[in-house]
Amino acid sequence: MLDMLDETNDPARRSWVEGADGSGFPIQNLPFGVFRRPGHRPRLGVAIGDFVLALAVVSEAGLLPGIAPDVFRRPHLNELLALGSSAWRGLRRRLVDLLTEGETTIRERAPAALVRRGAVEMLCPVAVGDFVDFYSSIHHATNMGRLFRPDAEPLLPNWRRLPVGYHGRAGTVVASGTKVTRPQGLFLRAGGVEPTFAPTEKLDFELEVGFITGPGPSLGQPIPIDEASDHIFGLVLVNDWSARDIQAFEYQPLGPFLGKSFATSISPWVVTLNALAPFRVPAPPQDPTPPPHLRTDAPWAIDLSLEVDVATAAGDATTVCRTNLAEQYWTIAQQLAHATSNGATVGAGDLFGSGTVSGPVSGSLGSLVEITADGTQPVGLTGGEQRAYLADGDTVVMRGASAGSAVRIDFGEVTGTVYPALRN
């Protein structure tokens, strides 16, 4: 595995861009996304302070050699991702140099490249080719086992031996801010014998973090765990919405389906793995020792603070969860190595979700099914309302940031508002 720490992580670096230093989007961050100005087509950009740097404009000025300008004119990051890790890292180093304090090239040759973030629309950053969702928080898995299998061991025998996961639906991965229509499905009401087809009564959020990949090897070739950093471009915040009642009725024996596939919201900015290098920490102890293909001495946990707000239609917002990705039992490197261990392929723009990120204490639980004990202990919200599960008009806001003594790397937000079901 390559050492991800390099000169781009230097906390002493400063930028000439107004407001960048000390913000959540300093020169050490430079997350990638897709933006659109009114009346213009989508383009690739990076966030710096309160601005978006339009990469196509910088490229057309001849300042980004080695990558064709058309790559930056696309409505998604996929073509850039397909160029591979050497191209990503070279582009990041070049952008850091161009944005460093004292450098004037962009201001002289591409002054129109900086656009206020408040003046643009942010779009889904990738065209997701494949979506895998894991179940990697030992606290979440234990809580769910205790809720739904109270007389059995909360963790099934395979859970500590491999990162449990399933394939989701890539076509319903949507940009932050996309409305979430309450899904309908078959489920059993309490005491019922026959299922009812109706709008879900247990609509939930799931606080997750996802990673986005570049190209992988050909069919049949696994990705060794110590080469994971060559295939992971960066991370996004994920709200993998869940209809708990629909899921409960359908999930045996093949797992989640309609209760999960109606919407998965992701944040607009992809924070690169390089930017997060200073925040990589040792993962929690694993017992038993993982199989050889999942073992590594590298620090693959990420110190990423996360929080969730639920805001009612009246506008009252309540923080219902604060936790950290570093609590995850299975790391992103283990997830990728496991997902390809049978020779399965990985493509540029694939999304891998962490599964719900929950911590060990009250206040750190990443879903309402845990927070409210499946609706039996409703949570109180600012303004006096209570929630067992989400109501129509509720907005869920998830935030994330990795913060050290000198630099804060912000992920921004992923948001979604619940709309009433569309009746047949």
pLDDT of residue 192: 87
Contact 183, 243 (CB under 8 A): yes
Residues 326 and 230 both lie in one domain: yes
Residues 58 and 181 in one domain: no
pLDDT band at 350 (very low <50, low <70, confident <90, very high): very high
Pairing of strands 232-239, 271-272: antiparallel
Give percent of the chain above pLDDT 90: 96
Q: Are residues 138 and 113 in the same domain?
A: no
Q: Is residue 112 located within the same domain as residue 145?
A: no
pLDDT in tens, 111-141: 999 999 999 999 999 999 999 999 999 999 9
pLDDT digits (tens, 9 = 90+) for 24-76: 999 999 999 999 999 999 999 999 999 999 999 999 999 999 999 999 999 99
Residue 12 belongs to a domain: yes
**pLDDT band at residue 424 using 50, 70 and 90 as cut-offs:** low
Residue 1 has pLDDT above 60, yes or no: no
What pLDDT is stored for residue 191 in this prediction? 85
382-400 pLDDT, tens digit each: 999 999 999 999 999 999 9
3-state secondary structure (DSSP) of residue 32: strand
Q: Read off the pLDDT of residues 243-260 as tens digits, 9 standing for 90 and up.
A: 999 999 999 899 999 999
**Do 60 and 184 belong to one domain?**
no
Q: Which of 140, 167, 231, 293 is catalytic?
A: 140
Judged by average pLDDT, the poorest of 3-7, 8-12, 272-276, 385-389 is 3-7
140 is catalytic: yes
pLDDT band at 2 (very low <50, low <70, confident <90, very high): very low
Determine the 3-state secondary structure of 6 from DSSP.
coil
Q: Which residue, of 71, 98, 123, is where some domain finishes?
A: 123
- Listing DSSP states for 363-417 in one string gives T---BHHHHTTTTTSPEE-TTS-EESSPPTT-EEEEEEEEE-SS-EEEEEEEEEE
**Is residue 147 predicted with pLDDT exceeding 70?**
yes
> Per-residue pLDDT for 292 more than 70?
yes
Q: Beta 203-204 vs 242-243: how paired, if at all?
A: antiparallel
- Does 382 lie in the same domain as 289? yes
- Comparing 64-73, 158-167, 184-193, which segment has the lowest mean pLDDT? 184-193
Number of folded domains that form the chain: 2
Distances (CA, A) of 57 to 28, 50, 74, 130, 390: 21, 18, 13, 31, 43
Distance CA 390, CA 418 (A): 8
Query: What pLDDT is attached to residue 423?
Result: 77
Closest CA to 56 of 9, 48, 40: 40
- 354 token code pair: 């962490």
pLDDT of res. 201: 98
Q: Which of 123, 143, 173 is the last residue of a domain?
A: 123
Same domain, 369 and 400: yes
- Decide the pairing of beta strands 379-380 and 280-281: unpaired
Residue ranges making up the domain that contains 57:
7-123
- Is 2 among the domain residues? no
Three-state DSSP class for residue 53: strand
How far apart are alpha carbons 293 and 73 in whole angstroms? 39
